[in-house]
Structure 1
Amino acid sequence: MTVHNPVKTGAFPSPALLQQAKLFRIYNHYRLVISLMLAGLLFVDPGTFDARFRWQDYYQAGVVSYLALNGFFALILMAGFQVSQRHITLSILLDILIIHGLLLTSTGITNGLANLVIVSVAAGNILTPSRLGIFYAALAAICSLGISGWAVLSMNGHADDIVRAGSLGILYFAAAFVLQNISRRMIRSEALANSRARSIAELEQINRQIIQRMRTGILVLDRYGQIRLANAAAEELLFGTISTDTDLPRSRTLPQPLKLGLEAWLKDPRMRVEPFQSAPTSPLLQANFTQLDQERGDHILVFIEDMSKVTQQAQQMKLASLGRLTAGIAHEIRNPLGAISHAAQLMEESPQLDDGDRQMLDIIRRHSKRVNGIIENVLDLSRRKTADAELVDLPIWLQEFRRDYLQTQDEESGPSSIELEIDPDLPAARFDKSQVEQVLVNLCDNGLRYSEQQTGSRKLSLHAGATEDRHRAYLDVRDFGPGIAPEDRSSVFEPFFTTDKSGTGLGLYLARELCEANQAHLSLVEDGQQGCCFRITFAHPGRMI
């Protein structure tokens, strides 16, 4: 016998085929039990049941053969045999023919074995609800009528046997029509249920992807603060890493500020939790709590918002309006400003100026330059382009930046040194090269200037590394200057804040804005070492939207 597998290699069987195979296994168990019972009755004296066998030897041989056939089917099914439609059809046909053969060799159509034919016809119509099911009923009816007719003509049987055979034929067809109708309805219902299940699964997958790609952090907690679910944004905002293991977020504990906020909210749900930082280098966060189940209150939904983005958006709107205003009056400002600068230069060439006048002219020139710088920086806010991000090999790009930047510095400001340290196995980063280069130029210019003020030499260090999860890269820019006073650290990224009288106060603000446009984060690292360290933490290269 050749084994026929209806499912192609490497493909998964459909739910309908799996259900059909399961039902056939159940039916085969039924056949095996019936054949065992018939075989067991062979060891009982037939006279006890008032049985008058026509051909007892043939009947016994048929029962033993039926048991052997069903046992063989049971063994191959246990061995993993894949059932096809033709095997089901052959099994039903064999059952109808074998049972009618047992009826012929025993007492005829009046034997109780005739009821087993109804079960076989019903099983055939359940397993194959098609025209083939009507053929099963027709075959069974023809066999029953044939046995009854042969008994009446050849063995002087009662004419009532033909009536009984006709009644059985009606039962066969009734069972076929009823069960086919029920089976078709069940198949349609199952197909509808499977279609809805697939739709629900697809919607669930879409919702999961949407939640994972949201920029707002989402947490699901129990009343004891244990994390039940966390999306990627929540892990990044709270823990600075993104886990790939679905069970890992549950093993993490809430940052202490958020845990205290949860306890306060549980006492008074109307209270709004104060913004907090989960780590010194993390942005300012705002948490909002709500109960998922209003009646039981078992789970709590937490929304984590990055307050720095909200603040920056408000500041960006203000400065964008200022930029548009400045763009409108820039021409009117620059004309007199250029005239003032030109007049100051002409006056500096006069040999009759004393030292006090030259000092005043120097003040005019420096402040004119500063006003022009403020106008240029504000104009940049309104002219800023959308980031054109690309995947960047950070070590190669940093080496090229360091070489080009030092060449520019050596020509303009004198010898400068930048120490570059790159950790091994650094992950790639995705950003706009021109915009991040503008950020680095600003940070390096400030670092070299403050290092020269403190140590007399223009030097700084760049260190590229990876976050704890090894999925994101970061870049530290460290100078050797006097550092930033503790009371000024929270204000360094605010627009127009500066400790340098010659600065505009927009450099670090623009640098952070450009980082945010590339989904990176610029922060001030407080590690207790000399000078100050600014860190650019790049986004996961696969999470860029």
Structure 2
Amino acid sequence: MQNNIDSAPNINASAPPSRQRARLFRIYNHYRVVLSLLLVALLFIAPTEFDTRMRAAEYYQASIFTYLAINLLIALILLAGFQPRNRHIILSIFMDILILHGLLLTSSGMTSGLANLVIVTVAAGNILTPTRIGTLYAALGAICSLGIASWSVLSMFASADEIVRAGSLGILYFAAAFILQYISRRMVRSEALASSRAKSIAELEQINRQIIQRMRTGILVLDRYGAIRLANAAAEELLFGSAPSEETLSRGRTLPKPLRRGLESWLKNPRERTEPFQAMPTAPMVQANFTQLDQERGDQILVFIDDLSKVTQQAQQMKLASLGRLTAGIAHEVRNPLGAISHASQLMRESEHLDDGDRRMLDIIQRHSKRVNGIIENVLDLSRRREASSDLVQVDQWLQAFRDDYLQTLDGTDGNPPVIHLEIEDNLPQARFDISQLEQVLVNLCDNGLRYSLEHTGQPEIRLHAGATADGERTYIDVRDFGVGIPQENRASVFEPFFTTDKSGTGLGLYLARELCESNQAHLSLVDSKNPGCCFRITFAHHGRMI
């Protein structure tokens, strides 16, 4: 990038850009039109005295009217949209120098004030074409001036002062040419350098924008009243569940109530840390951190929205490490006496002297022994859980294969086979998830759904739906059953460990499912719905923005 900056001035230093050159030439032509109009106007001011000072009044008047006509014609051509090129400008400057010297020749010679106008023409030529040809303008003007002065001295018996004046004007022509060439080249180089640096800054800004948009951390820019000025894609996903198709659409959105309360609290006490919150039931738990974007003015506030799932993963890893050491001891200390109890109950069942009450007691012992053993197995599986591997999953194809394989593992020999309805939307984006862990999560959700549907309707039936979020960038899977649903007072506790409403359950299934989802940066949530039963949704992370 630095090489581009250094080389750009050398490429464009020979002349101003074409648009700028055309604009400057239009300004110069306006000057020529005004000048020729003034010269024509002077012809009507005291024409008798004016003619006495002219060497060739008729030729002078004809030259002025011709000069005006040429300038008006060029102005009309430029007004029509003609873009002058370098050769047109050079020819025009040569014409001006020759016409002005023609006016000097037919008027009073080098003593006329028209001689000073040649300096303006030479200067304009060096500004419009700051190359070596600018020196040619000065040379042509000096030669014409000295020629007119010499002819005046030899033929018109004028004073030798005209030659001195012509020489002085020639020096001014060259001085103006060299100085303006130097200044113009410096200006062109500076402009080229500024343009190159502006291009580099624009490229860096584009790179930064792409980096910010792909960051996992959400970034918001707010004013003091909570209006959104800017939001990246991660912030849209964490706060609103979807990102708009255009960046400007985020400005019209309203801050979630928990975030607005956190902003108001921070404005009152900037040192106070806001509490984590969920923007919506299907969104992950996030933490908002506020800071002033402009420390002096303080009119804009920068907000960092951190997804706590990564922090939760680290905490869970530490918790599971401790849990693993604990369950290793529990497995040894509990499973041995538990096995003895289960074995003794089996031996007692073989006795011929048991009545019905004793057999019911043995059933209770067997059932609860299996339940305790299941709890130990689930805790051991949780503590031994391996780290998730990132697999790119085509959800529509994978979900169809999962449904077929899962149905083959179910027992439908009782004449009431399970039914799984599958709905898949078109053009689903890909997702990243450990396939074995995704299968474990879905098996748990499907088992629960089939069991509760069977208890409520007498038919083991669930519905699987795969769709895309509103922004079209992430995929989700809904698992819906036809059971009685979860009471409102228990909805906040369904993912807590050991919480269950089923007497035979361990309360670890949904907890383990959410843990597996969070380890893959996905989110498992209980979706509110007017339909009967429960609907659990797995929302996958963006496959291109996962950490």
What's the TM-score bracket when you normalise by the shorter of the two chains? Answer: 0.7 to 0.9
SS of alignment partner, residue 215 of structure 1: coil
Amino acid paired to 1:409: L
**C-alpha contact 2:388 2:519 (8 A) present in aligned 1:** no
What SS class does the counterpart of residue 526 from structure 2 fall into?
strand
Which of 378, 381, 391 is the aligned partner of 2:383? Answer: 378
* 1:278-328 superposed Cα distances (whole Å, 9 cap, x missing partner): 2232223332333334444322222223334432331134325656x699x
Cα distance in 1 for residues equivalent to 2:255 and 2:517: 27
Residues 108-127 of structure 1, C-alpha deviation per residue, up to 9 Å, x if partnerless?
A: 22221111110111111112
How do residues 395-544 of structure 1 correspond to structure 2 at under 5 angstroms? 395-410=396-411, 415-422=417-424, 427-432=428-433, 434=435, 435-494=437-496, 506-516=508-518, 518-527=520-529, 529-540=531-542, 543=545
RMSD, aligned α-carbons: 3.7
- Name the structure 2 match of 1:388: 391
Aligned to 2:85: 84
Native 8 Å contact 1:137 1:172 kept in 2: yes
Q: Which residue of 1 aligns with 2:8?
A: none
Worse overlay, 208-217 or 409-418: 409-418
The equivalent of 1:127 in structure 2 is: 128
Task: Indicate the residue corresponding to 1:266 in structure 2.
Answer: 267
Letter in 2 for 1:125: N
Letter in 2 for 1:228: R
1:460 Cα shift?
Answer: 0.9
1:38–1:257 distance in 2 versus 1, CA, 3 Å: same
In structure 1, what residue type is equivalent to 2:23? K
Query: For the Cα contact (< 8 Å) 1:430–1:544, is it kept in 2?
Result: no
Distance, in Å, in 2 between the alignment partners of 1:121 and 1:181 is 14
- Aligned partners of 2:401, 2:63: CA distance in 1, in Å? 90
1:33-72 CA-partner distances (Å, limit 9, x unpaired): 1122223333344443475333333322322222222222
1:15 and 1:396 map into 2 onto residues whose CA distance is 60
Per-residue CA deviation, residues 500-535 of structure 1 (Å, 9 max, x unaligned), is 576665543443344445543221113354332101
Output one character per residue of 1:427-449: Cα deviation in whole Å (capped at 9) or x when no partner: 43433472534432232122223
Is the 1:374–1:504 contact (alpha carbons within 8 Å) kept by the matching residues of 2?
no
The Cα shift of 1:167 comes to 0.4
Superposed displacement of residue 477, structure 1: 0.7
CA separation of 1:514/1:98 partners in 2, compared to 1, >3 Å: closer, same or farther?
farther
TM score, norm. by length of structure 1: 0.83
Contact 1:447 1:460 in 2 (8 A): yes
Between stretches 100-109 and 131-140, larger displacement belongs to: 100-109
The separation in 2 between residues aligned to 1:501 and 1:108, in whole angstroms, is 119
Q: Which residue in the other structure is 1:60 paired with? A: 61
Structure 2 CA distance for aligned equivalents of residues 307 and 160 of structure 1: 91
TM-fit CA distance, 1:194 = 2.4
Between the aligned partners of 1:152 and 1:15, the Cα distance in structure 2 is 42
User: What is the identity, as a one-letter code, of the residue corresponding to 1:389?
Assistant: L
Q: Kindly indicate whether the alpha-carbon contact (under 8 Å) linking 1:326 and 1:375 is maintained by their aligned counterparts in 2.
A: no
For the structure 1 residues 182 and 351, does the alpha-carbon distance in structure 2 shift closer, same or farther, using more than 3 Å as the test? closer
Q: Quick one: distance in 2 between partners of 1:79 and 1:345?
A: 105
Return the alpha-carbon distance in structure 2 between the equivalents of residues 362 and 149 of structure 1. Answer: 129
Q: Are the counterparts in 1 of residues 342 and 369 from structure 2 also a CA contact under 8 Å?
A: yes
Task: Name 1:106's counterpart in structure 2.
Answer: 107
Instruction: List runs of 5+ in structure 2 lacking aligned partners.
Output: 1-14, 353-358
Distance in 2 of aligned mates of 1:108 and 1:386 = 93
| Identical-residue share of aligned pairs (%) | 64
The answer for the alignment partner of 1:16 in structure 2 is: 17
Which amino acid is the alignment partner of residue 215 of structure 1?
A: R
Superposition deviation, residue 270 in structure 1: 3.2
Tell me the CA shift for residue 141 of structure 1. Answer: 0.7
The amino acid that maps onto 2:451 is R
Unaligned runs of 5+ in 1: 1-13
Partner of 1:7: none
Is this contact kept in 2: 1:218–1:230, CA < 8 A?
A: yes
- Structure 1 distance, partners of 2:194, 2:55, is 52
Q: Work out the CA distance in 2 between the residues paired with 1:405 and 1:440.
A: 10
Aligned residues: 524
Q: Which has the higher contact order (CA 8 A, sep 6+)?
A: 2
Spell out, residue by residue over 1:157-177, the C-alpha distance to the aligned partner (whole angstroms, 9 max, x if none).
322211111000000111111
